[in-house]
Amino acid sequence: MTTVYPLRAANRLVIMRTPTFSRLHCSIHILLSAWLTLSGCQPPDETSQRQEQLKREAFKLRMGMGLTPEDAEGHFQLGKIYYDLGEHDKAIEAFQTAVSLEDENVQSHNHLGLVYLRLRLNDEAVNAFREAIRVEPDNPVYYNNLGYVYDSEDEFEEAVKAYRMAIQIDPKFQDAYYNLASTYHARGEFEVAIENYERVIGLDESDADAHVSLGEAFQDSGQLNQAIRTYEKALSLDSTDPEVYFRLSQLYHEKGNASKTQSNLNLFLDKAAGLPQFEDKIENVKRLKRELAAKQQQ
């Protein structure tokens, strides 16, 4: 059985892009929403219903292709269903068949890259995204996805080159700016990271993720007041992220503001309740609250 690794949440991968729907993320987007569904992001009944629906669609497509086996589009659609179901070997087979029937089927090349990337077969993913670029060299999505692979391999120069190529093709491509910022951020080059996060926000003021990442860049570079303002703005756009309350509690604690430290710790505990990824932080926050309470009583 093939081992599947989760994609990094920090960067943005794009499945497909049209003039009217340019961003699909977190991640990651329309097709990945089915993957997230199957991973437990919806109630069990809805998840099983979605699985059954996808299986029925796959059966119909297989039956149809029994009559028209040379239908490249049918194989591509079948590959997307298997991709959604997490049946990666079958998805790869379907996309490869589509490409063998129609080499210019750019979405099959792109989706092959996405499956390979999900499986951490990064060399194969690079080749697939480069094939997509060969077919559509003026589509920034495929450069962005290529950069994502290089970034996951810590090949900084190649990642930056690919992201900048995506931006050159489309100067309003927010995801490429975000990924470029994240790449510089990870290397501690905060000034360039901040500049590019701000470009994302300039293109979409409502992008809460970009505000959070900008706040982290300010915090990591010691610009605490800017970090606080940016986190507060992020919460005005999306008040559900426990991590932002945790970071705000750190900043207010560092600045000696006990009341705001406590209020953000309480909000963190409220928002993080029941989320397993925050179990360790929840224990640390509870311990910190006890320490702060003991200090107040002295």
- Residue that terminates a domain, selected from 130, 154, 178: 154
Token pair of 192 as six digits: 């360039």
DSSP state of 146: H
Indicate whether 130 belongs to any domain.
yes
List beta partners, residue 251. Answer: none
pLDDT at position 41 is: 46
Whether the predicted pLDDT of 217 surpasses 70: yes
Is 46 a member of any domain?
yes
Other C-beta atoms within 10 Å of 233: how many? 16
State both tokens at 137.
Answer: 């060299």
What's the whole-model pTM score? 0.80
Question: Which residue did the predictor score with more confidence, 7 or 68?
Answer: 68
263 plus 131 within the same structural domain: no
Q: How many residues does this entry show for the chain? A: 298
Residue range 16-39: average pLDDT?
A: 35
How does pLDDT run across 41-59, given as a tens digit for each residue? 455 567 777 767 766 666 5
Q: For position 147, which CATH number holds?
A: 1.25.40.10
Alpha helices in the chain (DSSP H): 30-36, 44-67, 72-85, 88-101, 106-118, 122-135, 140-152, 156-169, 174-186, 190-203, 208-220, 224-237, 242-254, 258-272, 279-297
Residue 58 burial (C-beta neighbours within 10 Å; 0-12, 13-18, 19+): buried
Contact 240, 208 (CB under 8 A): no
Rg of the chain (C-alpha set): 22
Q: Is there a domain that residue 182 lies in?
A: no
Q: Examine the domain organization and report whether 262 and 146 are in the same domain.
A: no
- Asked if residue 148 and residue 254 are part of one domain, the reply reads no
Last residue of a domain, one of 125, 154, 183: 154
Examine the pLDDT at 8 and tell me if it is beyond 90.
no
Task: Look at residues 154, 172, 205 and tell me which one is the last residue of a structural domain.
Answer: 154
Contact 25, 162 (CB under 8 A): no
| pLDDT at 3 > cutoff 90 | no
Q: Would you say residue 14 has pLDDT above 90?
A: no
In this structure, what token pair is assigned to residue 160?
């930056």
Same domain, 3 and 132: yes
Note whether residue 168 is domain-resident: no
d(CA 289, CA 291): 5
Q: What is the pLDDT of residues 93-124, one digit of tens each?
A: 999 999 999 999 999 999 999 999 999 999 99
Residues 1 and 129 in one domain: yes
Asked if residue 47 is part of any domain, the answer here is: yes
Quick one: 6 and 143 in the same domain? yes
User: Looking at the domain assignment, is residue 266 inside a domain?
Assistant: yes
**Domain shared by 262 and 145, yes or no:** no
Residue 198 falls inside a structural domain:
no
Q: Is 21 helix (H, G, I), strand (E, B) or coil?
A: strand
Give yes or no for a contact between 59 and 53, defined as CB atoms under 8 angstroms apart. Answer: no
Lowest mean per-residue pLDDT among 74-83, 131-140, 186-195, 211-220: 74-83
What is the pLDDT at residue 297? 78
**Same-domain pairing of 3 and 133:** yes
Residue 90 tokens read as: 């079958």
Question: What is the domain extent for residue 94?
Answer: 1-154
Give the model's pLDDT for residue 227.
98
Q: Which residue type sits at 147?
A: G
Q: For residue 25, how far is the Cα from the chain centroid?
A: 6
Answer whether 81's CB lies under 8 Å from 58's CB: yes
Q: What is the mean pLDDT of residues 282-293?
A: 89
Instruction: Say what the pLDDT of residue 245 is.
Output: 97
Residue 202 lies in a domain: no
Instruction: Assign 288 a pLDDT band (cuts: 50, 70, 90).
Output: confident
How many structural domains comprise the chain?
Answer: 2
Residues 146 and 1 in one domain: yes
User: What would the two tokens of residue 165 be?
Assistant: 């190529």
d(CA 256, CA 181): 31
Identify whether residues 18 and 149 lie together within a single domain. Answer: yes
Q: Select the more confidently predicted residue: 146 or 66.
A: 146
Pair (149, 277) in one structural domain: no
- Compute the mean pLDDT over every residue in the chain, rounded to the nearest whole number: 84
Same domain for 254 and 135, yes or no, is no
